[in-house]
Each structure stands twice: as C-alpha cells, then as structure tokens.
Amino acid sequence: MVWRAFLFDVDGTLAETERDAHRVAFNQAFKEHNLDWYWDEMLYGKLLNVTGGKERMHHYLHEFTDIDPNQENWNDLIKQIHKTKTDYYVSLLNEGLVPLRPGVKRLLEEARNEGLRLAIATTTTPDNVIALLENSLGKHSVEWFEVIAAGDVVKAKKPAPDIYQWVLNQMALKPNECLALEDSENGLRAATQAGIPTLITVNDYTQHQDFNEALLVVSHLGEETNPSYQYENGEWNPIGTIDISFLQQLKKEKCI
C-alpha cells in the first residue's frame, strides 16, 4: 500500500502566515472599523486555539472584552470586519512578503511528478488560499490541487474532522490512502478523527502542542541546504529532507 494523495493544511503548514499576515490583517481591520482591539503576538498565540477568523473574533468578543454582545448585531459586524480583514490579508500576500516553508515547493513538485493526488484542507477563507498559491507557486498552481476545501464549506471547523471527510468524499479516497500535512494540534485532531495519518511540521506557535498521535513530527520538510529535524522521545535529531521515497517507506513501516 502506498500514499495516493497528500492533503495539505495551509496556515502554518504551507507558509508561516499567522503572526505576520493574518494577525496584522486582523489589527488593520479592527482599526478600520473603529474598534480599539489589538491582538499582539502573544495574545494571538492563545486565540489560535479557536480556528476560523470569524469564530476567533466571536471568541475574543465574549471572552476578552466587556462588550454586551446583544447590544449590536455582532454577527453581521463580525462578517463585515472579516471581509475587510480578508482584503488586507490578500494585499499583504500580493506584496510577496510571505514565503512558503522550507521543502514545501520541492515536495509538491515531487508529488506531481510521481502522480500523487493533491488537495487542500484548511479553515481559512478560499480567497486567502488562492492568493498564497498564486503568489508563491505561480498563477496555475491552483490547478495542481484536485480539491481546495476551505473556510465555510463545512460548518464545523478543525478540530472537527468534517473538512477532511469532505475532501475524502470529493476524491473518493480512503483515509489510509492519504497523508495529511499539518502544523497544529487542532489540525492533527481533525485529520486523526477522519482516520488520516498525519505528518506535523511544527512552528513557533505550535511547537509545544500535543502531537502524540502524529505519524511523524518534524521541524519542517527540509531542503538540501536546510535539513529538517525529527522530534522523537523528547529529542530533536537531524533527518535531512522529507521526500516521497522517505514518506512511502514510512507508510510501509508504520501504516497498514
């Protein structure tokens, strides 16, 4: 049995988008809507536990402010703020300031060459995914992905398994034919609950989360000049680059 498809998360996995892009765009939108909200880097790390920008704002409104949520139509207001935030976020990406993480482009190209099927499973807004792909991999890279499952396509966002189940349905694949690539515990829980083995590439915001259920935990996918490190038994050890033959071997050893 070999992997037939790779299912990629976006934020934190394809690129480090959260601290310097999503967070910045949220703060720009708050200002534009005359809110005195400001999410600093540390607070944002806590807020990331809630996936989805609109859901994150609702959580902040209820848990971090004294505002009576019933006084205004916060549902509509949050939708408007989120629209502004998406515009700012896309503009930031169009400036070309958010690069892909090490090894992402390499692995995607290898996967395409070897005929593996590709999909995206993310809680972020579809426009954000398209902007990231087009700016980092070129205009036609959106077509590399058979399915782009994003944002409100399912009601329950990660850590619920719905987005992964949606992708499996669309692609008519079994969970154990797919490898999910994620960066967070919420993402791992979503994929695992859908039965999909998961590779984790950690980042600053997620490095201390619980990844016990992951197939493999690494620092990133690695490049020849920038090797990856594997986390195992409380230690980080060099592992080189994560390529297709390494991943197919891993499946043989660890999966049915």
Active site amino acids: 9, 11
Q: Which does 198 bind (CB under 5 to 8 A by kind): ligand XBP, Mg ion, none?
A: none
Q: Does residue 197 interact with ligand XBP by CB under 6 A?
A: no
Q: Does residue 9 interact with Mg ion by CB under 5 A?
A: yes
Q: Which is nearer to Mg ion, 101 or 117 (CB)?
A: 101
Q: Which is nearer to Mg ion, 35 or 118 (CB)?
A: 118
Q: Does residue 12 interact with ligand XBP by CB under 6 A?
A: yes
Only one of the segments 46-54, 168-176, 192-200, 241-249 lies at the binding site for ligand XBP (rule: CB under 6 A); that segment is 46-54
Q: Which amino acid is at 173?
A: L
Q: Does residue 123 interact with ligand XBP by CB under 6 A?
A: yes
Q: Does residue 198 interact with ligand XBP by CB under 6 A?
A: no
| 104-113 helix and 244-254 helix, angle to the nearest 10 degrees | 80
Q: Least CB distance from residue 53 to Mg ion, whole Å?
A: 13
Q: How far, in Å, CA of 213 to CA of 237, rounded?
A: 19
Q: Does residue 12 interact with Mg ion by CB under 5 A?
A: yes
Considering only 3, 14, 21, 22, the residue that binds ligand XBP (CB under 6 A) is 22
Considering only 135, 184, 206, 228, the residue that binds ligand XBP (CB under 6 A) is 184
Q: What is the contact surface with ligand XBP in residues (CB under 6 A)? A: 9-12, 18, 22, 51-53, 122-125, 128, 158, 184, 186-187
